[in-house]
């Protein structure tokens, strides 16, 4: 996983989100934006490499910015879906290396459209791991 150039590295404690990612097959680790001290890249969806608390590395999909399809507040979020991982990370620190821009933020008209795009984003990250 060292053959990817890092755009930025985020280290933060995982906090409780609204748990909507679970409804589209993409549970996420949500971060407290106030704890992030690095300059983030432009808002968008990124391929990432996550270092779990036990030191294991996994590929992921990270959303930086708003979530216009499910949250009209315009709040800025940072959240990562970790591929091939199922566990509780609340209160633990994760390191997320942002390595590749996948796409810009987009508003979808339904959760079904969100899920279809999520499936594409996850496949992109899986292909990145090959």
Per-residue tens of pLDDT for the chain, all 130 residues: 678 899 999 999 999 877 766 766 678 899 988 888 899 999 999 999 999 999 999 999 999 998 777 777 777 889 999 999 988 999 999 999 999 999 999 999 988 888 888 889 888 888 876 5
Give Cα separations from 27 to 1, 6, 19, 38, 39 (angstroms): 22, 24, 7, 24, 25
Q: What is the pTM of this model?
A: 0.88
13 alpha-carbon distance from chain centroid: 14
């Amino acid at each position: 996983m060292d053959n990817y150039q890092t755009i930025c590295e985020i280290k933060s404690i995982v906090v409780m989100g609204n748990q909507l990612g679970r409804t589209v097959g993409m549970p996420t680790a949500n971060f407290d934006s106030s704890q992030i001290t690095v300059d983030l890249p432009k808002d968008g969806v990124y391929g990432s490499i996550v270092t779990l608390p036990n030191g294991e590395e996994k590929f992921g999909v990270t959303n930086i910015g708003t979530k216009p399809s499910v949250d009209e507040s315009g709040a800025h979020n940072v959240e990562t879906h970790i591929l091939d991982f199922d566990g509780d990370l609340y209160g633990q620190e994760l390191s997320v290396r942002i390595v590749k821009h996948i796409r810009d933020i987009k508003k979808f008209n339904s959760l079904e459209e969100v899920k279809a795009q999520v499936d594409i984003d996850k496949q992109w990250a899986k292909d990145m791991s090959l």
